[in-house]
Amino acid sequence: MSLPTIALTKDLYSDLKDKLSLPVTDNPNDYDYCLAKIDGRLALQSKKFMPFFIDFSSLAHRCEQAQYQREPLAKACGITKEKKPFIVDATAGLARDSFILASYGCPVLLLEKSSLLSVLLEDALKHGAPLEAIGRMVLLHRNALDYFSQMPEIPDVIYLDPMFPENKKSALVKKDMQILQDILEHDDNNGDALLEKALTTKTKRIVVKRHRHSDFLGDRKPSHQIQGKTLRFDVYCQNKNEKQIC
Ligand SMILES: C[S@@+](CC[C@H](N)C(=O)[O-])C[C@H]1O[C@@H](n2cnc3c(N)ncnc32)[C@H](O)[C@@H]1O
């Protein structure tokens, strides 16, 4: 499958052409996607959807009102009033989950292997800077499979949310996720490999987000599960004592 061509507007061309590991053009008539500044924000344009940019402000409002003790994601990651684990979100995507985890007070390292998403995320983090949670988020454009081999610091939690290929056409998939699936249509499905590699690290807790009825990643039975309405979190505890805390 050929890679999508990204058009860059003239003001962005020299800044971004080397950051994107995709074919780029400055021809505004010949592209699959176009990156442009709209009201100072980096936006992705396509013939298929309205200009899209990553924005944390509406999520921030929701997080302010949420009681994290009740949130399945927080429970799965072992977050309590006293415990704010250091989390590596190895599949950052649109960084919604990363932002929620950072809003609960956790330092979060975001890994994203797509260069296109990484530049959109970088811009979103820059513009979201006044939000307190953003100060706890650090982004690396990196393949997590490589990162797991050489982690400078062992995180308390590795969080994995690989793509759900089986749900690609579902009407239930949110608009943002449809865009993500669209721009990552050439993405390989490496969820099983991510879990296997994460389990080789010294990280005590690995959390995998799955659809409620999906198979276990890599056929690996988790230590326990936290169920949400449509999703579940499979928790792999690599330290027996941890299971009692989870
Ligand atoms: C379903 S999305 C994650 C959505 C994210 N949890 C959110 O809240 O927005 C999966 C993301 O993982 C990224 N990804 C997949 N494999 C990866 C890898 N090996 N290293 C880093 N990122 C990866 C994909 O590029 C994609 O952006």
Residue 87 has a pLDDT of 98
For the residues 199-218, what does the mean pLDDT come to? 95
**Considering only CA atoms, which residue is closest to atom 3 of ligand 1?**
93
Q: Choose the weakest-confidence range: 2-6, 9-13, 210-214.
A: 2-6
Residue 229 has a pLDDT of 87
For the residues 78-107, what does the mean pLDDT come to? 96
pTM: 0.91
Ligand 1 probe mutation, 87, 94, 98, 112, most atoms within 8 A of CB: 112
Ligand 1 atom closest to residue 92's alpha carbon, by position in its atom list? 5
Give tens-digit pLDDT for 34-87: 898 999 999 998 877 888 999 998 888 888 777 777 899 999 999 999 999 999
Residue 74 has a pLDDT of 95
Ligand 1 atom closest to residue 184's alpha carbon, by position in its atom list? 25
Q: Which band of pLDDT confidence, cut at 50, 70 and 90, is reported for residue 14?
A: confident
Give tens-digit pLDDT for 139-198: 999 999 999 999 999 999 999 999 766 554 555 456 777 777 777 755 678 999 999 999
Give tens-digit pLDDT for 116-153: 999 999 999 999 888 999 999 999 999 999 999 999 99
Q: Is 234 in the pocket of ligand 1 (CB under 6 A)?
A: no
Question: Domain boundaries in the chain?
Answer: 6-46, 57-245
What would be the CATH architecture of the domain defined by 57-245? 3-Layer(aba) Sandwich (3.40)
pLDDT of 240 over the 70 cut: no
Residue 172 has a pLDDT of 47
Q: Which band of pLDDT confidence, cut at 50, 70 and 90, is reported for residue 17?
A: confident
Q: Is 163 in the pocket of ligand 1 (CB under 6 A)?
A: yes
SS (H, E, C) the chain: CCCCCEEECHHHHHHHCCCCCCCEECCCCCCCEEEEEECCEEEEEECCCCCECCCCHHHHHHHHHCCHHHCHHHHHCCCCCCCCCCEEECCCCCCHHHHHHHHCCCCEEEEECCHHHHHHHHHHHHHCCCCHHHHHEEEEECCHHHHHHHCCCCCCEEEECCCCHHHCCCCCCCHHHHHHHHHCCCCCCCHHHHHHHHHCCCCCEEEEEEECCCCCHHHCCCCEEEECCCEEEEEEECCHHHHHHC
Ligand 1 probe mutation, 91, 99, 201, most atoms within 8 A of CB: 91
Q: Is 93 in the pocket of ligand 1 (CB under 6 A)?
A: yes
Q: Is 97 in the pocket of ligand 1 (CB under 6 A)?
A: yes
